[in-house]
């Protein structure tokens, strides 16, 4: 983690300070071992650790001096703009949601993951924060993913799709059908249903699904990716001739690694909260940490949360207007509160 922090401070001069939260003695020892001197690195001591085994809601209450809670509190108190954690995902989601609160109009924060495709990356969300969702939650995920695809991936007109078991409109379940129906009302480039092939062929920029399916899909991608890399390695080292071939073609192998590298984004934003929250992979190495810090920096610089608030409000307005039309009421003026709409949908 420290190596990644030092890489990021060197690469991004716009960062004024990175606060490393944890056991101060341990951090100081690691820093002096690395011999690094960096004026923009500050240490905040925390005596506890929020472990992978901790039950999120229990530990949020009990481990008040854990590095996770302390780091989130820095954001809450305005002493930091973003928090990055490689730790317990459920703990990060629970603690960040409780302490930072949701952005206005957002019912559920979601984990937005960047996944490599043949033509760049796509955003998959929710990758695991909400195992059970309602259609309006998925519409909000679509809006937040849209903002991230535009601001962070640089897509001018991001293409939004709902992940489904087929592209025909009669496919799916109640959740996907209602989500697709609502997304058609929102002012973005909505493709309808998408499938695995669409994701990896680069035909979609934002793939919307609930956190149960999204997490399963993400772990399937990680599991298959590892399996193919291990198969490739074992086949290429099986005998000396193959090893020579692999050495000659080593540029290609590096190219594949670069293009399919999950570390290229290094962190998945937990979108929809007051503050920037990035979940880095538990096995993240320095490049992944550096890139997670880059994503946090870009998220702040692009004022992503302001865009989200504005576009969520606009989407709700559109949906409320449509609901009013469907109910036979005059289309304008519409002043429904978001909560009423959420309850209705």
Nearest CB to a copy of itself, comparing residues 28 and 119: 119
Does 216 participate in binding a copy of itself (rule CB under 8 A)? yes
Does 57 participate in binding a copy of itself (rule CB under 8 A)? no
Selection from 136, 275, 279 nearest residue 218 by Cα: 279
Handedness of CA 306, 68, 121, 251 (dihedral sign): positive
Residues in the chain: 345
Q: How far apart are CA 55 and CA 41, in angstroms?
A: 31
Q: Per-residue string for binding with a copy of itself, 10-49, x by CB under 8 A?
A: ----------------------------------------
User: Least distance to a copy of itself from the beta carbon of 7, Å?
Assistant: 26
Does 328 participate in binding a copy of itself (rule CB under 8 A)? no
Q: Can you name the residues that pair with 113 across neighbouring β-strands?
A: 124
Does 228 participate in binding a copy of itself (rule CB under 8 A)? yes
259 and 268 Cβ atoms separated by less than 8 Å: no
Does 241 participate in binding a copy of itself (rule CB under 8 A)? yes
Nearest CB to a copy of itself, comparing residues 160 and 320: 160
Q: How far apart are CA 286 and CA 325, in angstroms?
A: 53
* Residue burial 9-28, b: 16+ Cβ < 10 Å; e: rest: beeeeebeebbbbbbeeebe
- Of 2-10, 76-84, 162-170, 314-322: span binding a copy of itself (CB under 8 A): 162-170
Nearest CB to a copy of itself, comparing residues 117 and 287: 117
Nearest CB to a copy of itself, comparing residues 76 and 279: 279
Does 315 participate in binding a copy of itself (rule CB under 8 A)? no
**HSE of 201 in the Cβ direction (CA atoms, 13 Å)?**
6
Does 166 participate in binding a copy of itself (rule CB under 8 A)? yes
Nearest CB to a copy of itself, comparing residues 107 and 198: 198
The residue within the footprint of a copy of itself, chosen from 201, 325, 329, 343 (CB under 8 A), is 201
- Of 1-9, 239-247, 301-309, 329-337: span binding a copy of itself (CB under 8 A): 239-247
Our measurement of the distance from residue 129's CA atom to the centroid of its chain's CA atoms, rounded to an integer in Å, reads 10
Total number of residues that touch a copy of itself (CB under 8 A): 62
User: How, if at all, do strands 110-111 and 267-271 pair?
Assistant: antiparallel
SS3 label, residue 262: helix
Does 117 participate in binding a copy of itself (rule CB under 8 A)? yes
Selection from 145, 119, 264 nearest residue 202 by Cα: 119
The residue within the footprint of a copy of itself, chosen from 218, 271, 312, 319 (CB under 8 A), is 218
Q: How far apart are CA 71 and CA 79, in angstroms?
A: 10
User: Least distance to a copy of itself from the beta carbon of 173, Å?
Assistant: 6
103 and 277 Cβ atoms separated by less than 8 Å: no
Percentage helix, strand, coil, to 5, in the chain?
50, 15, 35
The residue within the footprint of a copy of itself, chosen from 17, 51, 64, 131 (CB under 8 A), is 131
Q: How far apart are CA 301 and CA 157, in angstroms?
A: 20
The residue within the footprint of a copy of itself, chosen from 42, 61, 157, 226 (CB under 8 A), is 226
User: How, if at all, do strands 82-85 and 276-280 pair?
Assistant: parallel
Does 264 participate in binding a copy of itself (rule CB under 8 A)? no
Catalog residues that contact a copy of itself under the rule CB under 8 A. 55, 117-118, 128, 131-132, 163-166, 170-173, 195-201, 209, 211-213, 215-228, 230-232, 235-236, 238-239, 241-242, 244-253, 255-256, 259-260
């Amino acid at each position: 983690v420290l190596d990644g922090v030092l890489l990021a401070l060197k690469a991004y001069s716009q960062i004024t300070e990175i606060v490393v939260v944890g056991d101060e003695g341990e951090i100081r020892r690691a820093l002096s071992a690395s011999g690094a001197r960096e004026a923009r690195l500050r240490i905040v001591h925390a005596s506890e650790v929020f472990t992978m085994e901790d039950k999120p809601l229990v530990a949020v209450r009990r481990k008040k001096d854990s590095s996770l809670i302390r780091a989130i509190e820095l954001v809450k108190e305005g002493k930091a703009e973003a928090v990055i954690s490689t730790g317990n995902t459920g703990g990060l989601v629970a603690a960040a949601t409780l302490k930072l609160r949701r952005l206005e109009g957002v019912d559920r924060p979601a984990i937005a993951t960047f996944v490599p495709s043949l033509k760049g990356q796509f955003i998959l969300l929710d990758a695991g924060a909400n195992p059970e969702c309602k259609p309006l939650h998925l519409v909000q995920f679509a809006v937040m993913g849209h903002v991230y695809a535009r601001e962070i991936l640089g897509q001018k007109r991001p293409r939004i799709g709902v992940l489904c078991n087929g592209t025909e409109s009669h496919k799916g379940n109640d959740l996907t059908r209602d989500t697709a129906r609502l997304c058609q009302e929102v002012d973005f480039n909505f493709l309808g249903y998408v499938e695995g092939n669409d994701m990896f062929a680069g035909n979609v920029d934002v793939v919307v699904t609930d956190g149960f399916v999204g997490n399963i899909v993400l772990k399937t991608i990680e599991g298959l990716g590892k399996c193919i890399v291990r198969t490739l390695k074992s086949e290429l080292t099986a005998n000396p001739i193959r090893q020579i071939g692999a050495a000659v073609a080593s540029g290609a192998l590096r190219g594949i690694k670069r293009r399919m590298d999950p570390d290229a984004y290094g962190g998945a934003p937990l979108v929809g909260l007051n503050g920037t929250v990035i979940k880095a992979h538990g096995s993240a190495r320095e490049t992944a940490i550096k890139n997670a810090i880059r994503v946090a920096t870009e998220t702040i610089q692009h004022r992503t949360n302001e865009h989200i608030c504005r576009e969520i409000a606009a989407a709700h307005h559109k949906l409320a207007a449509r609901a009013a039309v469907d109910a036979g009421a005059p289309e304008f003026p519409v002043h429904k509160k978001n909560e009423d709409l959420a309850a209705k949908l």
